[in-house]
C-alpha cells in the first residue's frame, strides 16, 4: 500500500494493519503485514496451517500486542474498539465457560455488550433456541461452534471477526450460518473470516487475503486470485496415438496427464499452447480450456511461494 492509501485508510477504513510484525520466540508468525479493510466488506483470510491467520486476528482484537507496526480499528486501538462494542469475535480456540447453560452464557454476552440484541433473538439466529437450557459442556462440537457464533453476534457490532467459524458444523448449519452472515454484511457490517474451506471464500467473500508465513501473498477478489495463479486447464482427445514428448515440447505446459487418447494439461499461457498444438499438425477434439478453481489457485500460489523461498 502507498503512504497516501494508508493515510486514507486511517481516516475512513474499518481496519488498518501498517507494517505489523509479531514473533513467538524465533517464530515470526506475522511478518511486516500491511492491509486495510473498508467498511462493509466481507473478506476471507486464507493460508496454510501456521500461516499466521489466528495471530493476525488476535492482533486485530488486541489480545496480543504487535512487536512493531500499528493496528487500528475504526481509527482507534483494537482494545478501545472492543470495549466500545464495535467488534464481535469468534475465536478458533479457547474454552467456553463450563457449568452454565447456553442461555446463561448468551445472557452474559448480551449484558457485556454496549448495544446488545434481545437474548432470544441471538439464540434463534444462532440456531440455539431448542438447546438453550442445555449445559455448555454437554454440547457437540458443531453446537459449540454455534454458541461461539452467538457470542460474536450478541450485540450490534460494526466489525465481525471469525476464526474458522464453520469447522465442525454440518452442511445445514454451515448454510444457515452463512445466510446469517450475509444478512450481517448486507446491514453494512465489515466481516473478516479465516477459513480452510475455499468454496466458502469463493462464494461469500468480496475479497480474499492469502497469507503465507506471516506475509501477504495475494490480495484481491476470488477472480483476481485465480487469474494471479495464472494456470489454465487444457484438455482434449486425439485420434492418433499420443506422442508424449511432442506434447511436453509445447510452450507453457506445466503438468501433463495422459489417459488413453485423452490429454489433460496445465498451461500458464493456454493461447500459446493451443496454437502450437494445431501447428504441430495434431487435431484435438473436444478441446476445453478452463480456469482454476479458487482451491487449485490457492494451492498453485502457495506451492510456488514454497518453491521460491525454499
Ligand X SMILES: Nc1ncnc2c1ncn2[C@@H]1O[C@H](COP(=O)(O)OP(=O)(O)OP(=O)(O)O)[C@@H](O)[C@H]1O
Count the residues of the shown chain that bind ligand X, applying the rule CB under 6 A: 12
Q: Which does 220 bind (CB under 5 to 8 A by kind): ligand X, Mg ion, none?
A: none
By CB under 6 A, name the one of 16, 29, 90, 294 that touches ligand X.
29
| Contact indicator for 220, 39 with CB cutoff of 8 Å | no
Contact call for residue 145 and Mg ion (CB under 5 A)? no
How far is the C-alpha of 178 from the C-alpha of 172, rounded, in Å? 10
Helix (H) or strand (E) holding 308: helix 294-309
Please report where in the chains the cell 510456488 appears, as a residue.
Answer: 304
Q: Which of 42, 54, 153, 267 binds Mg ion (CB under 5 A)?
A: 54
Is 202 in a helix, a strand, or coil? helix
Is 103 near ligand X (CB under 6 A)? no
Asked if 54 is part of the footprint of ligand X (rule: CB under 6 A), the reply reads: yes
Of 13, 47, 116, 230, the one binding ligand X (CB under 6 A) is 47
Report what 159 binds from Mg ion, ligand X, none; CB cut-off 5-8 Å by kind. Answer: none
Q: Which positions from 80 through 99 interact with Mg ion, judged by CB under 5 A?
A: 92
- Helix or strand holding residue 275 (H, E): helix 270-279
Pattern 8-47, Mg ion, x by CB under 5 A = ----------------------------------------
Whole-angstrom distance between the N-terminal and C-terminal Cα of the chain?
26
Interface with ligand X, residue 93, by CB under 6 A: no
Q: Name the nearest CA neighbour of 38 among 73, 3, 70.
A: 73
Cβ within 8 Å of residue 275, ≥6 positions away: none
What cell numbers appear for 65 in the block? 500486542
The footprint of ligand X (CB under 6 A) covers 24, 27, 29, 47, 49-55, 92
Amino acid at each position: 500500500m502507498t503512504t497516501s492509501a494508508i493515510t486514507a485508510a486511517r481516516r475512513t477504513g474499518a481496519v488498518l494493519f501498517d507494517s505489523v510484525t509479531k514473533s513467538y520466540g524465533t517464530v515470526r508468525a506475522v511478518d511486516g503485514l500491511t492491509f486495510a479493510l473498508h467498511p462493509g466488506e466481507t473478506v476471507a483470510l486464507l493460508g496454510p496451517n501456521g500461516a499466521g491467520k489466528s495471530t493476525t486476528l488476535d492482533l486485530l482484537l488486541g489480545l496480543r500486542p504487535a512487536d512493531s507496526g500499528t493496528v487500528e480499528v475504526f481509527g482507534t486501538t483494537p482494545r478501545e474498539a472492543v470495549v466500545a462494542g464495535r467488534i464481535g469475535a469468534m475465536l478458533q480456540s479457547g474454552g467456553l465457560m463450563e457449568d452454565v447453560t447456553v442461555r446463561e452464557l448468551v445472557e452474559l454476552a448480551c449484558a457485556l455488550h454496549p448495544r446488545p440484541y434481545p437474548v432470544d433473538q441471538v439464540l434463534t439466529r444462532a440456531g440455539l433456541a431448542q438447546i438453550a437450557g442445555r449445559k455448555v459442556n454437554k454440547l457437540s462440537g458443531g453446537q459449540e461452534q454455534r454458541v461461539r457464533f452467538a457470542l460474536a453476534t450478541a450485540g450490534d457490532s460494526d466489525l465481525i471477526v471469525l476464526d474458522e467459524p464453520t469447522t465442525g458444523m454440518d452442511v445445514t448449519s454451515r448454510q444457515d450460518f452463512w445466510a446469517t452472515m450475509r444478512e450481517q454484511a448486507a446491514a453494512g457490517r465489515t466481516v473478516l473470516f479465516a477459513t480452510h474451506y475455499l468454496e466458502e471464500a469463493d462464494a461469500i467473500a468480496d475479497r480474499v487475503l492469502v497469507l503465507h508465513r506471516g506475509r501477504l501473498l495475494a490480495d484481491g477478489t476470488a477472480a483476481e486470485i485465480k487469474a494471479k495463479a495464472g494456470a489454465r486447464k487444457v484438455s482434449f482427445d486425439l485420434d492418433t496415438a499420443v506422442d508424449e514428448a511432442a506434447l511436453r515440447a509445447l510452450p507453457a505446459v506445466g503438468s501433463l496427464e495422459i489417459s488413453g487418447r485423452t490429454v489433460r494439461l496445465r498451461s500458464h499461457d493456454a493461447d500459446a499452447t493451443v496454437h502450437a498444438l494445431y501447428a504441430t499438425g495434431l487435431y484435438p477434439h473436444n478441446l476445453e480450456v478452463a480456469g482454476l478453481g479458487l482451491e487449485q489457485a490457492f494451492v498453485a500460489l502457495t506451492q510456488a511461494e514454497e518453491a521460491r523461498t525454499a
